[in-house]
Amino acid sequence: MSPEEVWAATKSQLQMQLDRASYETWVKQAEFIRFDAEEAVFVMGAPNVYVCDMLNSRLNRKIERLLSDIANQPVRARFEVARAAETTAASLVGDEMPLLKLAAPLEAHIDPPSIEELVRAPRLPDLPEGDLNERYTFERFIVSPHNQMVYQAARAVAEAPGQMYNPFLIYGGVGVGKTHLLQAIGHKARQGGKKVLYVSSEVFVSEFVSALRGGQTAMFRQRYRSVDVLLIDDVQFFMGKESTQDEFFHTYNALLQWNKQVVMASDRHPRDLNNIDERLRSRFQGGLVLDIQAPELETRQCIVKMWSEERGTQLPPDVVEAICTAVVSVRELEGLFLQIHARAALGGLRREQLEALTRRYHQPRERLTLNRIIEVTAQKSGLLVEDLIGKKRSEPVSQARQIAMYLCRELTTCSLPQIGDAFKRNHSTVVHACNKIIADMNADPMFRARVDKIRRALER
Ligand code: ADP
Ligand code: MG
């Protein structure tokens, strides 16, 4: 396989593993640029800074793992802003100016739209039905004692939007089925003739920013406020962007006022959404808030059996049990299952190969502690742990501290406040540090190499 084909294969894996909105927004337009064989780095182009940051930060690990699997050697991935990339609906955002810098001056003047403005606003073309993944239905959701309550509530909401629990917020860890349930509500409500809009908060933010830049806020509002059911995924990513939080607040109020249904998913309880405006946080808690737990072993086995029946892969029961025992996150399990399926289809899989694959998904990184990250970062920067958690503010010390904060965010599942505590600082300092490091890495390859080196030392 040529490097270009490896990237194409990785993209199709991503298409299967990510929900459609994320794939279209973040991955679809990323083009292969070159493969640096010496450093084993794949370099891809992204359409703008916003997408590029996202790919280099939150999606990077997943992409590197897939690339390495497919290339059959450990490789790294890096995204750069590709000037020539064409602009499509998913990237209305231009690329001549870093978007994130725009947030401040725009904040001041966002008023809720008047009714006239809404009425006058030109109609947007109807959304393609394809924004919901057809696999995420109630029928394909395996109910267990752990998730029964949230499942029932979701069904009730879908059958009578705006009438039962409004807003409805589902929270829980990664890969526990939040997006699946949110979209199941969407499918069901659509069958009932309702107008449904599903977006992740990131898409909401990026659409809003481009609407602002293009002078199309009226159209934006029309689009979001003319629905019967608004499904917002991953609301934790609203954090820190005040102007969009403001916009969301008004959208939210308008919909609730008109008895339209709002459903949200978050990775944590709304009271722990520390960087979200207090007004929004208390609104979120005003409706039904339910948590969804990771499915236990038996449920995971049922899920994998369902997948293998759907795809006609014969997996012996002991194999199903082995992979479900090794991998707890259903998202990871799906990745592993797809790998097994693909290899089985290519002529069978021996047990050792299966074991090797499973080991790769069995995540050692969860065991990485904040202290270990601080220790290694200090050591690699020629500093002491006390320097990083102390008060010193000299350039080398604060830079190393910011790198450590960024790596804590990237490599562990700790919350922002937990990370802040480890450095005796507050969570907004951590957010600032992460943004700074991502921007610096994009601007300076040498700096990126330095951060990557520490990351590798930690992942060893
Ligand atoms: P989250 O949004 O919570 O991170 P997802 O909804 O994306 O997780 O779920 C990850 C994968 O696991 C999806 O393919 C989803 O269909 C599947 N999944 C999770 N829980 C269940 C369940 N109870 N029944 C069937 N599939 C599930
Ligand atoms: Mg999700």
Q: Is 182 in the pocket of ligand 1 (CB under 6 A)?
A: no
Identify the band that residue 332 occupies on the pLDDT scale cut at 50, 70 and 90: confident
pLDDT of residue 181: 97
- Span 226-254, average pLDDT: 86
Please report the pLDDT score of residue 123 as a whole number. Answer: 36
Grade residue 366 by pLDDT with cuts at 50, 70 and 90.
Answer: low
Mutation pick for ligand 1 pocket among 181, 298, 303, 330 (CB with most ligand atoms within 8 Å): 330
Q: Which two tokens stand for residue 64?
A: 């590197």
Give the model's pLDDT for residue 413. 67
331, 337, 361: residue to mutate for ligand 1 pocket, most atoms within 8 A of CB: 331
Ligand 1, atom nearest to 144 Cα: 23
Going from the Cα of 179 to the center of ligand 1, the distance in angstroms, rounded, reads 7
Residues in CB range of 345: below 8 A, 6 or more apart = 313
* Ligand minimally distant from the alpha carbon of residue 22: 2
Q: Residue 63 — pLDDT band, cuts 50, 70, 90?
A: very high
Q: Is the CB of 300 under 6 A from ligand 1?
A: no
The structure's pTM equals 0.58
- 271: nearest Cα among 281, 259, 256, 257: 281
Lowest mean pLDDT among 83-92, 388-397, 447-456: 83-92
Q: How far is the CA of 256 from the centre of ligand 1 (A)?
A: 28
Classify residue 226 as exposed, middle or buried by CB count within 10 Å of its CB (0-12, 13-18, 19+).
middle
Q: What is the mean pLDDT of residues 80-87?
A: 58
Q: Which pLDDT belongs to residue 245?
A: 85
Question: Region 212-230: what's the mean pLDDT?
Answer: 90
The phi, psi pair for 232, rounded to 5°, reads: -115, 120
Give the model's pLDDT for residue 255: 93
pLDDT for 125:
36
Query: How confident is residue 454, by pLDDT bands cut at 50, 70 and 90?
Result: very high
pLDDT in tens, 23-44: 877 888 899 999 998 889 999 9
CA of 172 to the centre of ligand 1 (A): 11
pLDDT at 405 over 90: yes
pLDDT for 99 equals 25
User: Of ligand 1's atoms, which has the minimum distance to the CA of residue 292?
Assistant: 3
Residue 92: pLDDT band with limits 50, 70, 90: very low
Evaluate if residue 329 carries a pLDDT over 60.
Answer: yes
Q: Where are the alpha helices (DSSP H) in 346-415?
A: 351-361, 370-380, 385-389, 395-411
Give the residue with greater pLDDT, 292 vs 111. 292
Distance 412 CA to ligand 2 centre (A): 18
Continuous H helices in 314-369: 317-326, 330-345, 351-361
Radius of gyration of the chain (CA): 22
Q: CB of 175 closer than 6 A to ligand 1?
A: yes
Across the chain, what does the average pLDDT equal? 82
For 266, phi then psi, to 5°, come to -145, 155
Least confident segment among 345-349, 395-399, 407-411: 345-349
- When pLDDT is cut at 50, 70 and 90, the band that residue 385 belongs to is very high
pLDDT digits (tens, 9 = 90+) for 272-289: 887 788 888 888 888 899
Q: How far is the CA of 174 from the centre of ligand 2 (A)?
A: 7
157 lines ligand 1 (CB under 6 A): no
The percent of residues in the chain predicted with pLDDT above 90, rounded, is 34
CB 335 less than 6 A from any atom of ligand 1 = no
How much is the pLDDT for 338?
85
CB of 334 closer than 6 angstroms to any ligand 1 atom: yes
Q: Which atom of ligand 1 is nearest to the CA of 183?
A: 6
Q: Quick one: pLDDT at residue 208? A: 86
Q: Is the CB of 45 under 6 A from ligand 1?
A: no
Nearest ligand to residue 237 Cα: 2
Q: Which pLDDT score, from 0 to 100, does residue 394 have?
A: 94
State the pLDDT at residue 244: 82
pLDDT digits (tens, 9 = 90+) for 243-255: 888 888 899 999 9
